[in-house]
Amino acid sequence: MYLKQITITNFKNIEHADLLFSQNLNCFVGNNGAGKTNLLDAIHYLSLTKSFFNNTDRQNIRHSENYFIVNGNFVRNDRDEKIYCGVQNGEKIFKRNDKQYTRFAEHLGLIPIVMISPTDIALINDSGDERRRYINSVMSQLDKIYLENLIKYNRILMQRNKLLKQIREKNDIITVLNEQLNEYAQVIYAKRKQFIEEIQPYFTQVYANVSNENENVSLTYKSDLNDENFITLLERSFEKDCIMQHTTTGVHRDDVIMRMNNYHIKKIGSQGQQKTFLIALKLTQFNFFKQQTGIAPILLLDDIFDKLDLHRVQHLISLVAGDDFGQIFLTDSNKTRLDKILEQQKNPFSLFNVDDGKITKIE
């Protein structure tokens, strides 16, 4: 699968762009703030129906305009897929081959994508919300059953939290909501646990390949449901929930513990080690996608070489330039470093210059 062409209008600082891409490697060079990341984010929109960075669609409209449009022509299993995303006056329209989606969730998984960005450091340094959001994003692209159960769980959770603001004693409605939460939570819990267990061996291997070090890295799934029945947990926490006015236990509080040498990597990992950890996690995600679907996701690499020494950069490039990977989009502000990377490439590539939202191909 690959992106053949993209047309962008009024997306962030890109007034207009109409670009044809290589099926292999596409590189974008330019100063910080020129618009390289914005191009990758436009591609991300076409895959996941939303920005990688901004939760609000309006924040992605070019200043002084009231709409943006992103069109992408993909080739998937030798068939053309035309994907359209348009946002105007707070309304978002998403189409596949000129047919509008009624639910954005229907699109997830059609165009698998993996993005590696400097903002990924939030997965290590921020709260469990970031790590849950990451797992949900990965699994929602792969598993429609997981996505449907997640949507239903969140809907019931909102109902329960609203009711907790109004009552102080348990009633039949709470009992019903508890049972519904438990039904959806069991599916979410089982699938998350299986996912972490399945990717662990490959994650360890990828980290070793990228770092060429003997550091022991691990991912551990942390959940309230690991040790106790969810219904029991909900009943026990009811009084606390009433006081706090929200549900204090459940899979919406799950986390992934990230360790290096048996310690939290947040506490002991250098900037280079943390970045290598995150790159290994994302490349593991790539491999898992490919194993599950038989399709190599599009790989977006946004300014990933900063904070990495030359040794790690070389190992990373040797990994992603192999035959196991498909189409790659790579940004860098260092033209000299990028030229050295491209000198090693045997496969065809395209090189673009980005300057103040204007993107031109370098022949």
**pLDDT average per 10 residues of sequence, the chain (363 residues):** 97 97 93 94 96 92 95 95 94 96 94 93 94 94 94 97 91 95 97 95 88 86 95 96 96 97 93 90 91 91 79 70 80 85 79 95 89
Q: Is the pTM of this model over 0.85?
A: yes
Q: Which pLDDT score is estimated for 338?
A: 81
Give pLDDT, residue 72: 98
Same domain, 81 and 128: no
What is the domain extent for residue 304? 1-112+295-363
- 284 & 304 share domain: no
My answer on whether 251 and 285 are in the same domain is yes
Q: Cβ(48)–Cβ(113) under 8 Å?
A: yes
Contact 326, 286 (CB under 8 A): no
| Cβ neighbour number for residue 255 with a 10 Å cutoff | 16
* 106, 185: one domain: no
Question: Of 237, 260, 292, which residue sits at a domain end?
Answer: 292
Q: In terms of domains, do 165 and 107 share one?
A: no
Asked if 257 and 302 sit in the same domain, the reply is no
Is residue 95 within 8 A of residue 101, CB to CB? The reply is yes
Does one domain contain both 223 and 341? no
In a domain, 145, yes or no: yes
The domain that holds 268 is classified in CATH as 1.20.1050.90
Domain final residue pick, 292, 320, 343: 292
288 shares its domain with 148:
yes
Instruction: Please state the length of the chain.
Output: 363
3-state class (DSSP) for residue 113: strand
Domain assignment present for 280: yes
The neighbour count for residue 222, using CB atoms within 10 Å, is 13
Residues 342 and 306 in one domain: yes
CA 265-267-268 angle, 5° bins = 70
pLDDT attached to residue 236: 95
Give a yes or no: residue 118 inside a domain.
no
DSSP string, 299-339: EEEES--TT--HHHHHHHHHHHTSTT---EEEEES-HHHHH
Q: 287 and 341: one domain?
A: no
Residue 117 within a domain: no
Q: Which of 271, 292, 313 is the last residue of a domain?
A: 292
What is the number of structural domains in the chain? 2
Beta-strand pair 67-76/79-88: antiparallel
Cβ atoms within 10 Å of 285's Cβ, excluding its own: 25
Angle at 58 between CA 156 and CA 28, to 5 degrees: 110
pLDDT of residue 307: 67
Q: Are 181 and 160 in contact (CB under 8 A)?
A: yes
* CATH code at position 37: 3.40.50.300
Residue closest to 277 by CA, chosen among 63, 160, 131: 131
Helix (H, G, I), strand (E, B) or coil at 280: helix
Q: Please report the pLDDT score of residue 117 as a whole number.
A: 92
On whether both 5 and 83 belong to a single domain, the answer is yes
